[in-house]
Amino acid sequence: MPLVGHYEITVEWGDCDPAGIVYYPSYFRWLDQATFRLFLAAGLKRDDLSGGQWKEGTPLVAAECAFRRPSQHGEILTIESCVEKLGRSSFTVRHVFRDGTGQVAAEGSETRIWARKDGDARSLRAVAIPEDVKKKLVG
């Protein structure tokens, strides 16, 4: 059974635009945070920084978000996250933002690769997702 993470956020004043609704980049920040927390719930470190510099991790290659209704300052949103698609070296995490009544406020996804680098950013290469990681994320 796939792992489903739940992450709760309170919409802060700084998350909103002058119209008083959530400014769209805030959703993308929350997508990233929810993916990080999904990895923590699975008992995984998402990106290895142990050597002082990123060597292996999960860089983002695509992201999207559909806004179903406006959210505003003071609202509490719950983000439900799970790995929707798992390939050899890439995976897609689906996120659903729900308000306190359960209504969907937004839906998004991130596609990431499992990657390593030896040196600068140009040395970045996709590698196979380790089997133990696959098992922890999707069962």
Inter-residue contact 95 to 81 (CB < 8 Å) = yes
Write down the catalytic residue from 15, 17, 48, 132. 17
Structure tokens at 94: 């689906």
**47 assigned to active site:** no
Decide: residue 66, CB within 10 A, 0-12 exposed, 13-18 middle, 19+ buried. exposed
Residue 38, CA distances (Å) to 17, 31, 41 in order: 28, 10, 5
Q: How far is Cα 59 from Cα 48, in angstroms, rounded to an integer?
A: 12
Q: How far is Cα 124 from Cα 81, in angstroms, rounded to an integer?
A: 26
Any idea which residues carry the catalytic annotation? 17
